[in-house]
Amino acid sequence: MNCIGGVCESLLIDMFDNACFTQQQVAILNQIDTDVACALQQLPRRYEHSVRVAKTAYKLAETYQVDTFQAVAAGLLHDIYKALPAEELLLRAEQHELPWKGSLTHAIPLLHGPLAALEMPSRYPELDAAIFKAIARHTIADTDMSELDMVLFCADALEPARQGDFIHELRTQVGISSLNKLFFDCFAVGISYVIQSRRYLYSDAISIYNHYVNQLQRLDS
Ligand SMILES: [Fe+2]
Ligand SMILES: [Fe+2]
C-alpha cells in the first residue's frame, strides 16, 4: 500500500514562500497530506481535488487576509471522509447523534463534512477549532459563516478543475467582490446546480440563501 501524499511538500515549495509557514506548520500540513492521500487512495481524483482546493484556499486567504495556514489545512482535510461508504456515514451520524434537519438518508452526500469535523479534532488536537468548523460547513454552509468558512466554501467551488460559465465568471470576481458576495454567489450557483440536476436540497439551504440575500441588500443600500 502506497499512500504517501508528497504533493503538499511540493505544493509548499512550488507555490508558497516557505517563510509563510513555520516548520511546525509545514510538518503538520505534510502529515495531513499523507493522511488524506491514504484515506482517498481508492479515489485518486478526489485526493487531487483536495490539493487543488488547498492551493485555491491559500490564494483566497491571501487575497482576503484570512489565516493561510488554516485555509490550507482545511482545504486538504475537507473531503477526507469522501471515500466512506454510505452505510458507514449513516452509522457514524447516528452514533454521534448528529444534529440534522430532515432525512439523514437523503443527505448522505452532505455528511462527510460534518462527520469529519466531529472526528478529526481528536486526530489533530494541534489544529484550531475554526478549521473543523469550516470543514463541517463546506457541504451545508450556515447563516453565520466565518471568513475561513467562506474561503473553504469558495475554494471548493472555484478550484481550477471546476468548469462552467458561472464558475469562470466567479473566478474573475476574486479580489473584486467582497468575500461575503463571492461566497453568496458560489452558494447560489451550488443551489442552482442541485435544483437543475434534481438532487436533494438540504432544508436549511433556502433560509441560508434568504439570509445572505437580505444581508447583501442591506449592505448595498
Ligand atoms: Fe466535500
Ligand atoms: Fe471538495
**How far does the centroid of ligand 1 lie from the alpha carbon of residue 114, in Å?**
10
* Whole-number CA gyration radius for the chain: 17
**How far does the centroid of ligand 2 lie from the alpha carbon of residue 138, in Å?**
8
H or E, element range at 1: none
| CATH number of the structural domain 7-220 | 1.10.3210.10
User: Of the ligands numbered here, which is closest to the C-alpha atom of 57?
Assistant: 2
**How far does the centroid of ligand 2 lie from the alpha carbon of residue 73, in Å?**
13
Joined grid coordinates for residue 1: 500500500
User: What residue ranges do the domains of the chain occupy?
Assistant: 7-220
Q: pLDDT tens for residues 146-180?
A: 999 999 999 999 999 999 888 999 999 999 999 99
Q: pLDDT tens for residues 97-145?
A: 999 888 899 999 999 999 999 999 999 999 999 999 999 999 999 999 9
Check: CB of residue 158 under 8 Å from CB of residue 63: no
**How far does the centroid of ligand 2 lie from the alpha carbon of residue 183, in Å?**
15
**How far does the centroid of ligand 1 lie from the alpha carbon of residue 129, in Å?**
18
**How far does the centroid of ligand 1 lie from the alpha carbon of residue 221, in Å?**
34
**How far does the centroid of ligand 1 lie from the alpha carbon of residue 61, in Å?**
19
**pTM of the entire predicted model:** 0.93
User: What is the DSSP secondary-structure string of 76-129?
Assistant: HHTTTTTTS-HHHHHHHHHHTT---SS-TTTTGGGTHHHHHHHHHHHH-TTS-H
**How far does the centroid of ligand 2 lie from the alpha carbon of residue 49, in Å?**
7
